[in-house]
Structure 1
Amino acid sequence: MTTATETTSAINIEDIRINGERLWASLMELAKIGATPKGGVCRLTLTDLDKQGRDLVLRWAREAGMTITIDKIGNGFMRRAGRNNSLAPIMTGSHIDTQPTGGKFDGNYGVLAGLEVVRTLNELGIQTEAPIEVAFWTNEEGSRFVPVMMGSGVFAKAFTLEHAYAAKDTEGKSVGEELKRIGYIGEQEPGDHPIGGYFETHIEQGPVLEDADVTIGVVQGVLGIRWFDCTVTGMEAHAGPTPMALRRDAMQFSTRIMQEVVATAMRHQPHGRGTVGMVHVHPNSRNVIPGRVKFSIDLRNATDALVDQMADEVKAFAATVAQDSGLDVKIEMVSSYPAQAFHEDCKGAVARAAAKLGYSNMPAVSGAGHDAVYMARLAPSGMIFIPCKDGISHNEIEDAKPEHITAGCNVLLHAMLERSGVV
């Protein structure tokens, strides 16, 4: 009788590839749960549709011979045993909840790519030294409950289980109640689950890889984020009788600061980002000079030092506007998310896998948050990006090419094999 070890030794590990057609079929099957008329998916966290999605993924895991653990925030861990099960598992994963007008790939790809890795290893009889686990994290999107990345955040002790349980949706239903209702409150304390390393495979959700015609993004880290509210207070007055030189127009001076947000980001390339996405004008009347304008400022960059420097520059410009105009300008921080660099060993494993497999690749950064951000606080972590059509995500028309889906999963397979002790 041939043992798993003998089977592994007879295989050239560098030659193995996943079954891309099977992975694509799994993605399309999961996408049927909550499918929308425009071809997207609406599967909000902790709804009946989320339960159906979870149930399907766990059924596939059991069929692949994996054991299942659910923790108290509903995170799911699907485990394939290794030769040495005392070692912390090499984990991959993402989420299967979606935006209200979400797509087929955001999050779902990272979970099902992990499952495809296991299916491939099973078919080839390859046993890894360390166990391999595939995780799905609860409420990554934050579209029904806040905070975002809830399951991984509780797991990493970024906030408490009680805080998460108390979060309510617009109908007043709480996370704790809904987890119990769909049957996904497990017994394990969040975080009482070892991780030897973590990889997350994801569509880029931006246009950089597609624009560069590159297949694999070796993600260096996640941008730091600072959110501010800026309020400019002037004086509302009649638009007709008030001469231009005598106006205290909050809108006109606000637009100067808005333009500086963009200009600051442009000065801090390649990773600087500056966005004004929300504006409230008072009294918001056609023939009244605006007396107060409140708008959001979103600043991002690759390091905390850079994003803080951008914030300082915007604040200094706003102070000059206030002095020159005589208007009151206040900038208040709303949220701060630290930049997160990924581990050199994991970035190296992804880059080596891409090169070995012959895929074009380049360093990339993530401008959006992912569960890998919290995992990087606990264990060596990395991410793999593939292009998505026109860089569009959080949209029903979100799309990716089957060959890119396959490529990203092949890179994941070989990166995990390197870290789990086979390669």
Structure 2
Amino acid sequence: MSGTNQRIDGKRLWDSLMAMAEIGATPKGGVKRLTLSDVDKKGRDTFKGWCEALGLTVRVDAIGNMFARREGRDPKRLPVLMGSHLDSQPTGGKFDGALGVIAGLEVMRTLNDLNIVTEAPIELVNWTDEEGSRFGHSLMGSGVWAGVYTLEKAYGLKDVDGVSVSEALESIGYKGEHPARPFPADAYFELHIEQGPILEREGRQVGIVTGAQAQVWYDAVITGRESHAGTTPPSMRRDALVAAARVVTLVDELMRARGEDGRGTVGFLQIPQPSRNVVPGEVRFSVEFRHPEDAEIRTLAATFPEQARKLVEATGCRLDLTELFVIPAQPFDPACVDLVRQAAQRLGFSAREIISGAGHDAVYVARSVPTAMIFTPCKDGLSHNEAESILPEEAEAGCQVLFEAVVARANRPA
């Protein structure tokens, strides 16, 4: 690594990542830090304590987003933001989200170590509920902040136990007093594991993320009729699970028709009243499609609902399909992306430009603030899995690029 004498502490970064991974640790080596749970509260409290120990001022907004501010030399300058999320999937990995938050913390620690006062303030963000695994709505905190969703809508979302977001925020003490809406900021940088195989496959140390894929998400409910498994002949069955299986197959076919760029997934499927000797009368499931091109997602959004409905009706069942959202492809800010590119070059890291296949808080933040992302490789491209793994030197490289980009932006001429 070359190009600068201002180095982050890779061991301290890794030790802090491992300390955070102990909060909600699972037997298989991952984490379960569901958003707004007591475990999430412990992670948040730990993060807050680390920030306050550095002299950072921590504030919390109405949806629970946390902002830790380090003042700059010029109080009139807009802040440079960096961050990610600390919540996880139910069987998540140690690094998804947490890398970006803890790397941002290491940037702050290094600035303190080197007695650097940047021209602009710097703020480190922990966004609420990026994963969407508890309340069914990913990118919640950044989405509310960016004005994509109303606070009232988010507050009303409930988990499977009937607990609302509003109640959960109050329960863990993170329903903040600050408004959950965009404030003027100069830039936003997010470090994240790739969650895909490209960087590892090509032996690249850094991904220069130029934008994110388009997406469309649905909630689906198929209603048939419960009946006795042993006495109901085929001609009399209205099997909601059979109908759902045909839609799942359709999702897979539509994905594969788009080649290696296609993405189509049913990641949640539930029989609300399961019994082994009852023909399922109701099935609930999720559907999502992703693609780098807006046109492909528009085509899917226009054609998939009717195709699915015909398949379901052919089984004698009914389909209720709710479109949750359509996210257009989001290009990132060229000047911010170039700072990431320059940092990787200056440090001598092998790098490549890459489109994000996953959704990230940066996608919504980019609607209000110039944004860029940095990717690090992850083993076998595996994520949303307890076996998710990166190397200490990969974390260090990504964090060093983050440091260089954030400091360069914060010190740019006014």
TM-score by length of 2: 0.83
CA shift for structure 1 position 158:
1.6
Encode CA deviations 1:191-235: one digit per residue, 9 max, x unaligned: 2633211011111112222222211111122211124559899xx
1:202 matched to 2:166? The reply is: no
Match 1:366 to one of 351, 356, 359: 356
Match 1:166 to one of 150, 156, 170: 156
Encode CA deviations 1:331-370: one digit per residue, 9 max, x unaligned: 9563333222211112111111112111111122222221
Structure 2 counterpart of 1:350, which letter? V
CA shift for structure 1 position 121:
1.4
CA shift for structure 1 position 94:
0.9
Larger radius of gyration: 1
Encode CA deviations 1:362-406: one digit per residue, 9 max, x unaligned: 122222221111111110011111111111112211111111101
Q: Aligned residue for 1:41?
A: 31
State percent identity of aligned pairs: 48
The alignment covers a number of residue pairs equal to 408
How does 1:106-145 map onto structure 2 within 5 Å?
Answer: 106-145=96-135
Name the SS of the counterpart of 1:15 in structure 2: coil
Name the SS of the counterpart of 2:34 in structure 1: coil
CA shift for structure 1 position 13:
7.5
Name the SS of the counterpart of 1:220 in structure 2: strand
Encode CA deviations 1:60-99: one digit per residue, 9 max, x unaligned: 1112121111112211111111111211111001111112
Distance 1:395 1:302 in 2: 24
- Structure 2 gaps of 5+ residues are 225-232, 234-238
Q: Compute the RMSD of aligned alpha carbons.
A: 3.8
Q: Aligned residue for 1:338?
A: 327
CA shift for structure 1 position 47:
2.0
1:356 matched to 2:349? The reply is: no
1:21 matched to 2:8? The reply is: no
Q: Aligned residue for 2:83?
A: 93
CA shift for structure 1 position 16:
2.0
Q: Aligned residue for 1:347?
A: 337
Distance 2:168 2:243 in 1: 46
Distance 1:143 1:408 in 2: 26
Structure 2 counterpart of 1:413, which letter? F
Distance 1:54 1:393 in 2: 22
Q: Is the 8 A contact 2:217 2:289 kept in 1?
A: yes
Change beyond 3 A, Cα 1:127–1:264: same
Distance 2:335 2:245 in 1: 45
Match 2:402 to one of 395, 409, 412: 412
Structure 2 counterpart of 1:273, which letter? R
Match 1:182 to one of 130, 151, 172: 172
Change beyond 3 A, Cα 1:54–1:259: closer
Distance 2:241 2:194 in 1: 36
Distance 2:79 2:96 in 1: 24
Distance 1:59 1:260 in 2: 49
Change beyond 3 A, Cα 1:38–1:222: same
- Structure 1 gaps of 5+ residues are 1-11, 234-241, 243-248
Distance 2:122 2:389 in 1: 28
TM-score by length of 1: 0.81
Q: Is the 8 A contact 2:3 2:348 kept in 1?
A: no
Distance 1:42 1:319 in 2: 36
Structure 2 counterpart of 1:199, which letter? F
CA shift for structure 1 position 407:
0.7
Q: Is the 8 A contact 1:265 1:310 kept in 2?
A: no
How does 1:381-420 map onto structure 2 within 5 Å?
Answer: 381-420=371-410
Change beyond 3 A, Cα 1:372–1:390: same
Moved more, 92-101 or 169-178: 169-178
Encode CA deviations 1:112-131: one digit per residue, 9 max, x unaligned: 11111111111112221111
CA shift for structure 1 position 265:
4.0
Name the SS of the counterpart of 2:261 in structure 1: coil
1:274 matched to 2:264? The reply is: yes
